[in-house]
């Protein structure tokens, strides 16, 4: 076993070319040597590996060797000769320590263990299936008395011919084309010349002629959630999150979500004391389990107090806290756009102030070196995210688990806390949807973490925040964006003054907006609606005369970009300077910002995509018009209400 404190080497090009390197005692990881039959890449000090299962962090070479007998069923169904296994081990060692020498386009000094294990397993399956195919052919020749003797497995990768690869790669249902192609590319490297028992019979150009099979993604893996589902989950989860904080006697950061507290707990006058009592119950049982070596309840007095004083049972509180946890996980999933590996890095205390604004601080995993500094990546935190994290931090008092994404069980004394698995997270969100969807409207819908990411990108595109912020939020850009202040919400921030690109990266959102604006039958409102409808009608009549369909015309218009700039509740066509016939320029007819009113301005057009915005304008102004503290401005609020209702009435025509 390697010394855990031993620093791993940097493998140079000269060492790769050295036929005597690596030696049997050369470290492959902090836990294993090159000679070991089990390579263990686990490292508790590497936060970027926290979300990776143990099965992706260990290569057990002994399991790939030919079983000693036909009756042995303790091995994986992929067996290789000792010599082929040794050659693949050599490939694995060098690709792990020096991926850049084999064409890997990555910033990491070493290959990530889970990437390496995936590649190696795909190669093992490939060559074991080639062995199986060759054995079938050999047995057929024996049956025809055309070949005597016992079948011998591949003794070197150099014995594999291109036709062997072609036969298995195209037909095998067990081979993953993505990792397999990468593995074969590595083996083809000229740096391995002379390392195998003979010369390879195929090269990189030969690999381009193979038809690799790639796993089929589930139909809804990348499908965006419908707006109605996104809104339903967001509203319901937000209400549960703010409700729990109110139950504890706290003021939520998000004041727009009406708090929801179950009927069984609504009449409790001191929710914080009730929660503290339940925490004490879990702590008492945890200590008892540690003393006796098994799960046991040792909190009868406290349980009786919970029932008698607060009128609820421990199971009532547990059920409520489970709903709150799932609601908080849903909020974080809906509004961060993080990958699962990123979620598992969020721990208690992850809300920090950067550039004067709150952010979630965690560790970005994909595309990053496992040895890079951790807990330095940020995700902008809107108010409801702050509330969701606050709920999860309170629940950590029950679980004794610092990971925000954690199971509902209490971590035993002396046990290492772990984040929730991706399956656990997926189950939590779908259970939450199932429990909240009392009418069964979304019974057939199954949510996955990747879908959350795609849906947020789609929603950000519709909110007109621009592709730069979308890329930053989803961690697709790592250059100068990293230095931008994270003071961005859906509507405002340091990127809000840019010309919104209509987020062309999101085709669906762009097409939906274009269809709502350009379709000749689409209702539009606003001060400039009448003139715009006339121009639109003439334009489409001309296109129809030229043989263009409506959909074809809209698609071309969408690809050309919007002729307007979004100002929130509508589109403005007058924000650019106008060049007059005499060559002079005329400033835009308005100054925008707070004095912009698309409902009356002759330069503005409002579409169905802005309907919800106007509904909120009416709702908010109705609320302020009845507020005794704001009666001095009541006339202004009522005017805004009349404008908003007219816009909504115009949009209702033909919708």
For residue 378, pLDDT over 80 is answered with no
Distances in Å between the Cα of 441 and the Cα atoms of 238, 397, 435, 514, 585 are: 19, 35, 12, 28, 55
Rounded distance between C-alpha atoms, residue 247 and residue 268, angstroms: 8
pLDDT at site 77:
56
pLDDT band per the 50, 70, 90 thresholds, residue 354: confident
Q: What does the DSSP assignment read for 425-455? A: HHHHHHHHHHHH-TT-TTTT----HHHHHHH
CA-closest candidate to residue 381, choices 426, 331, 454: 331
Most confident of 78-82, 141-145, 191-195: 191-195
Computed over every residue of the chain, the mean pLDDT equals 78
Q: Note the pLDDT tens digit of each residue in 17-68.
A: 888 888 888 888 888 898 998 998 887 666 666 666 777 788 998 888 766 4
Query: Residue 379 has what DSSP assignment?
Result: E
Q: How far is CA 370 from the centre of its chain?
A: 19
Q: What is the pTM of this model?
A: 0.57
pLDDT of the residue at 105: 61
Phi, psi of 361, deg, nearest 5? -110, 130
- Using pLDDT thresholds of 50, 70 and 90, give the confidence band for residue 242: very high
Which stretch of 46-50, 68-72, 390-394, 483-487 has the lowest confidence by average pLDDT?
483-487
Residue 65 backbone dihedrals phi, psi, to 5 degrees: -75, 155
Core vs surface per residue 133-169: b (16+ CB within 10 A) or e: ebeeebeeeeeeeeeeeeeebbeebebbeeebbebbb
> What are φ and ψ of residue 27, in 5° steps?
-65, 135
Give the confidence band of 467 by pLDDT, cuts at 50, 70, 90: very low
Q: pLDDT at position 376, please?
A: 67
Block residue for tokens 């604004």: 357
Confidence of residue 87 (pLDDT cuts 50, 70, 90): very high
Helix boundaries (H) for 463-549: 467-473, 507-518, 529-545
Q: Please report the pLDDT score of residue 8 as a whole number.
A: 58
Q: Dump the DSSP string for 286-320.
A: HHHHHHHTS-----HHHHHHHHHHHS--HHHHHHH
> What is the pLDDT, as a whole number, of residue 528?
77
Look at residue 464 and tell me whether its pLDDT is greater than 60.
no
Task: Determine the pLDDT at residue 158.
Answer: 92
Distance separating alpha carbons of residues 271 and 247, to the nearest angstrom? 5
* Tens digits of residue pLDDT in 425-457: 899 999 999 999 988 888 888 888 878 877 777
Average of per-residue pLDDT across 560-564: 56
């Amino acid at each position: 076993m390697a010394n855990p404190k031993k620093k791993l080497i940097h493998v140079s090009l000269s060492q790769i070319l050295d036929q005597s390197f690596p030696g049997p005692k050369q470290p492959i990881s902090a836990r294993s040597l090159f000679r070991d039959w089990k390579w263990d890449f686990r490292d508790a000090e590497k936060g970027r590996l926290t979300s990776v299962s143990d099965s992706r962090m260990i290569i057990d070479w002994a399991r790939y060797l030919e079983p000693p007998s036909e009756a042995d069923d303790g091995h994986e169904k992929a067996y290789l000769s000792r010599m082929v296994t040794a050659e693949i081990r050599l490939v694995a060692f060098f690709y792990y320590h020096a991926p850049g020498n084999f064409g890997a386009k990555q910033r990491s000094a070493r290959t990530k263990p889970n990437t390496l294990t995936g590649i190696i397993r795909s190669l093992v399956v490939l060559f074991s299936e080639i062995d199986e195919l060759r054995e079938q052919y050999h047995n057929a020749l024996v049956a025809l008395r055309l070949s005597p003797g016992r079948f011998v497995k591949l003794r070197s990768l150099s014995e594999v011919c291109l036709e062997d690869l072609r036969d298995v790669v195209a037909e095998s249902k067990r081979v993953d084309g993505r990792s397999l192609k990468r593995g074969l590319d590595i083996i083809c490297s000229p740096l391995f010349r002379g390392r195998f028992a003979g010369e390879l019979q195929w090269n990189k150009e030969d690999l381009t002629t193979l038809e690799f099979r790639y796993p089929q993604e589930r139909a809804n893996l990348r499908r965006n959630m419908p707006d109605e589902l996104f809104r339903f989950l967001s509203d319901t989860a937000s209400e549960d999150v703010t409700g729990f904080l109110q139950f504890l006697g706290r003021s939520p950061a998000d004041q727009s979500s009406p708090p929801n507290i179950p009927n069984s707990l609504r009449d409790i006058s001191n929710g914080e004391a009730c929660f503290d009592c339940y925490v004490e119950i879990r702590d008492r049982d945890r200590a008892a389990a540690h003393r006796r070596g098994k799960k046991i309840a040792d909190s009868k007095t406290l349980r009786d107090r919970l029932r008698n004083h607060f009128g609820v049972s421990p199971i009532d509180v547990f059920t409520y806290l489970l709903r709150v946890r799932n609601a908080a996980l849903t909020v974080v999933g809906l509004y961060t756009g993080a990958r699962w590996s990123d979620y598992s890095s969020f721990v208690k205390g992850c809300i920090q102030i950067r550039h004067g604004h709150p952010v979630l601080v965690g560790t970005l995993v994909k595309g990053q070196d496992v040895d890079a500094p951790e807990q330095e990546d940020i995700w902008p935190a809107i108010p409801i995210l702050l509330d969701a994290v606050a709920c999860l931090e309170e629940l950590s008092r029950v679980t004794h688990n610092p990971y925000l994404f954690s199971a509902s069980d209490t971590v035993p004394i002396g046990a290492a806390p772990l984040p929730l698995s991706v399956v656990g997270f997926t189950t939590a969100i779908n259970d939450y949807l199932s429990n909240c969807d009392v009418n069964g409207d979304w019974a057939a819908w199954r949510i996955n973490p990747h879908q959350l990411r795609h849906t947020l990108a789609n929603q950000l595109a519709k909110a007109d925040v621009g592709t730069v912020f979308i890329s930053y939020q989803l961690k697709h850009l790592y250059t100068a964006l990293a230095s931008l202040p994270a003071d961005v919400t859906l509507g405002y921030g340091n990127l809000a003054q840019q010309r919104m690109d209509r987020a062309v990266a999101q085709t669906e959102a762009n097409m939906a907006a274009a269809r709502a604006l350009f379709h000749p039958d689409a209702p539009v409102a606003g001060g400039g609606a009448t003139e715009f409808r006339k121009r639109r009608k003439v334009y489409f009549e001309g296109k129809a005369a030229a043989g263009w369909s409506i959909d074809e015309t809209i698609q071309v218009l969408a690809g050309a970009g919007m002729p307007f700039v979004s100002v929130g509740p509508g589109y403005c066509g007058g924000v650019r300077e106008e060049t007059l016939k005499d060559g002079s320029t005329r400033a835009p007819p308005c100054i925008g910002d707070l004095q912009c009113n698309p409902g009356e301005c002759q330069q503005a057009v409002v579409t169905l995509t802005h309907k919800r915005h106007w509904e909120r304008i009416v709702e908010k102004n109705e609320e302020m018009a009845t507020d005794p503290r704001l009666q001095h401005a009541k006339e202004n609020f009522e005017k805004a209400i009349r404008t908003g209702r007219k816009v909504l009435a115009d949009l209702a025509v033909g919708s």
